């Protein structure tokens, strides 16, 4: 059996749309196809739309949070995946479990038959109820609908689940099987007029590797999508049931490939991750951003401009991401690339763009954005993160050629020499190289030895900038050590 996934198998409402536009009747469409439709590509990359962004998270096995006000289709999207990919309930031969959250939800209460149940055993003529794990623990897909509809303190029950296990009788039991599990939750993020009944625990929100906020116009369905949905569905305000289908073996294989590919990042992708990991730790005032209230130091920092509210320094916008976010970024970028190539094998993918897009979607609702700046965006953290990400990417690209040159030389056990030419040498270089417009150059040692009288060695990797680059030297040292073993990876 071929377990290779195709993009056609992943399509949701696009199938209903295509059938309708090909002349199929509404009667033949309803019940035959899933109906969630969102082809908005403004928030995506490499031809991927909003639906694809969620699907990539499922393939990667990264917990996905779908945010938005009521009626935006977030539960419909999760429900379509629940049935059309994972064949519905685990307790009915499917591979999924759905938890409709309310104030009394308790996922370990055996009477609710979510992750535990009563087992009735006959011992010496007595019926003794015993609590045991239900089959749902091994479900591959876990759908938590309206997760913040239970009190904030009770939301703690979802922590183990989002960490990949259920705790029962003092033992942790992994959810899913075959090294795979997927979790998707819906919630109101509290950034509109309609809010969830209870505050969303920020620490719990941090456990979701990806957050897609449908209140943000970059991710909402297009006008054409909305028009088509009204034409191909009956007048039913509730969630429509998608047909049941099982493609879990193919999803597990896709996940295996994504995990394998995440171990083999090229130097361009790795450079972005190091830039985000180490560069965002930079604080020119205190050397490094420390503690959760790091942003308080930015308010009267001499490195911030006179009008920080309207023109804040880049380093003041965002703190240092935690390892969980960086790992999610890495894996999600690979999943986006995998899905983009499934959708269009000829697509041109820029790995740097992809890594920054992954960081944008994994970071918007993490606790390291400056809350002082957030007020300007009125709670729309997706828009805020998109703006910050654009500035980070611009800063990185201005220095990319130097970063890559240093790391690439180091991989080969070599030393990169960066020089500033004098006016005489600069004139000669411009005459002989149309692509050179002045500034710092990187030279092999043998060429530098010939030109050293007409240039000055410089260090482009300073820590005295808003996003520090001194990490390039330390990572370069690691790569040189690795090169001594004969490996360039």
Q: Do 284 and 214 share a structural domain? A: no
- 211 shares a domain with 67: yes
347 lies in the same domain as 273 = yes
Residues 193, 58 share a domain: yes
* Percentage helix, strand, coil for the chain under 3-state DSSP, each rounded to 5: 45, 15, 40
**Is 457 part of any domain?**
no
Backbone dihedral angles phi then psi of residue 472, each to the nearest 5 degrees? -60, -40
Residue 90 included in any domain? yes
Residues 330 and 192 in one domain: no
Q: What is the CA radius of gyration of the chain?
A: 26
Domain identity same for 234 and 272: no
DSSP 160-206: HHHTTEEEETTEEEE-SBTTB-EEEEEE--S-SSS--SS---HHHHT
Q: Note whether residue 422 is domain-resident.
A: no
Cα torsion angle, 61, 251, 12, 51, sign: positive
Residue at which a domain ends, from 357, 384, 409: 409
Cα dihedral 14, 76, 45, 489 sign: negative
Structure tokens, 437 = 């417009």
Do residues 100 and 164 share a domain?
yes
- 286 and 240 in a common domain: no
Residue 128: give the domain boundaries.
Answer: 7-248
Domain-located, residue 98: yes
Same domain, 176 and 286: no
How buried is 253 (Cβ within 10 angstroms: 0-12 exposed, 13-18 middle, 19+ buried)? middle
Please check whether residues 271 and 196 belong to one and the same domain.
no
Which of 167-171, 186-190, 394-398 shows the lowest per-residue confidence on average (mean pLDDT)? Answer: 186-190
Average pLDDT, the chain: 88
Q: Is the pLDDT of residue 305 over 60?
A: yes
pLDDT at 301: 86
User: pLDDT tens for residues 18-67?
Assistant: 999 999 988 888 889 999 999 999 999 999 999 999 999 999 999 999 99
404 and 271, same structural domain? Answer: yes
In-domain check, residue 256: no
- How far apart CA 2 and CA 179 sit, in angstroms, is 19
In the prediction, which pLDDT does 185 show?
Answer: 96
Residue 458 counted as domain residue = no
| pLDDT higher than threshold 70 for residue 477 | yes
SS3 319: coil
Query: For 234-244, how does the pLDDT look when each residue is reduced to its tens digit (9 = 90+)?
Result: 777 778 889 99
Of the residues 376, 409, 442, which one is the last residue of a structural domain? Answer: 409
Return the pLDDT at 290: 80
Concatenating the DSSP letter of every residue in 370-433 gives -HHHHGGGTT-HHHHHHHHHHHHHHHHHHHHHHHHHHHHHHHTT---EEEEE-HHHHHHHHHH-
Percent of the chain past pLDDT 70, that is, above it, reads: 91
- We report the CATH number of the domain holding residue 17 as 3.40.50.300
The structural domain count of the chain equals 2
Distance CA 294, CA 329 (A): 23
Residue after which a domain boundary falls, among 203, 220, 248? 248
Establish if 67 belongs to a structural domain. yes
pLDDT (average), residues 294-323: 83
Bigger pLDDT: 350 or 437?
350
- On whether both 170 and 82 belong to a single domain, the answer is yes
Most confident of the following: 100-114, 302-316, 331-345: 331-345
What is the band of 433 on the pLDDT scale with cuts at 50, 70, 90? low
The band of 436, judged by pLDDT with boundaries at 50, 70 and 90, is low
In a domain, 320, yes or no: yes
What pLDDT, on a 0 to 100 scale, did the predictor assign at position 113? 86
pLDDT of residue 360: 96
Q: What is the pLDDT of residues 256-282, one digit of tens each?
A: 999 999 999 999 999 999 999 999 998
d(CA 458, CA 138): 57
**What is the Cα–Cα distance from 4 to 234, expressed in whole angstroms?**
35
The model's confidence at residue 430, banded by pLDDT at 50, 70 and 90, is low
- Kindly indicate the confidence band of residue 428, based on its pLDDT and cuts at 50, 70 and 90: low
């Amino acid at each position: 059996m071929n377990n290779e996934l195709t993009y056609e198998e992943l399509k949701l409402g696009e199938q209903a749309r295509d059938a309708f536009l090909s002349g199929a009747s509404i009667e033949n469409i309803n019940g035959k196809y899933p109906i969630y439709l969102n082809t908005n590509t403004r928030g995506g990359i490499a031809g991927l739309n909003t639906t694809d962004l969620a699907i990539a998270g499922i393939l990667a096995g990264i917990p996905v949070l779908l945010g938005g006000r009521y009626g935006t289709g977030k539960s419909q999207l999760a429900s379509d995946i629940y049935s059309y990919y994972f064949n519905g309930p685990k307790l009915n031969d499917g591979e999924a479990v759905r938890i409709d959250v309310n104030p009394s939800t308790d996922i370990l209460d055996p009477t609710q038959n979510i992750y535990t149940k009563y087992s009735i055993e006959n011992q010496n003529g007595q019926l003794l109820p015993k609590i045991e794990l239900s089959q749902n623990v091994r479900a591959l897909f876990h759908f938590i609908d309206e997760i913040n509809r239970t009190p904030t303190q009770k939301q703690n029950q979802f922590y183990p689940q989002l960490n990949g296990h259920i705790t029962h009788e003092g033992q942790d039991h992994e959810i899913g099987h075959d090294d795979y599990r997927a979790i998707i939750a819906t919630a109101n993020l509290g950034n509109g007029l309609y809010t969830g009944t209870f505050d969303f625990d920020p620490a719990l929100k941090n456990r979701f590797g990806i957050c897609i906020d449908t209140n943000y116009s970059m991710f909402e369905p297009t006008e054409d999508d909305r028009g088509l949905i009204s034409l191909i569905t009956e007048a039913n305000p509730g969630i429509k049931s998608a047909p049941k289908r099982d493609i879990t073996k193919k999803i597990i294989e896709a996940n295996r490939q994504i995990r394998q590919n995440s171990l083999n990042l090229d130097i361009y992708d790795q450079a972005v991750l190091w830039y985000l990991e180490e560069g965002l730790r930079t604080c020119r005032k205190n050397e490094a951003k420390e503690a959760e209230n790091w942003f308080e130091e930015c308010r009267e920092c001499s490195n911030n401009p006179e009008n920080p509210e309207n023109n804040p320094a880049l380093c003041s916008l965002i703190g240092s991401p935690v390892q969980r976010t960086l790992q999610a970024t890495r894996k999600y970028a690979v999943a986006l690339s995998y899905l983009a190539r499934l959708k269009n094998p000829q697509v041109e993918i820029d790995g740097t763009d992809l890594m920054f897009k992954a960081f944008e979607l994994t970071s918007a609702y993490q606790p390291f954005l400056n809350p002082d700046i957030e007020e300007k965006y009125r709670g729309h953290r997706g828009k805020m993160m998109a703006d910050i990400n654009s500035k980070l990417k611009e800063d990185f690209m201005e220095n990319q050629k130097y970063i890559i040159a240093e790391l690439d030389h180091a991989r080969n056990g070599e030393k990169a020499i960066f020089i500033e030419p004098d006016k005489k040498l600069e004139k000669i270089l411009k005459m002989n190289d149309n692509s050179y417009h002045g500034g710092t150059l990187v030279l092999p040692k043998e060429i530098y030895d010939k030109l050293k009288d007409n240039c000055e060695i410089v260090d482009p990797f300073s820590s005295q900038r808003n996003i520090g680059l001194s990490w390039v030297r330390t990572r370069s040292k690691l790569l040189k050590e690795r090169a001594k073993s004969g490996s360039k990876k």
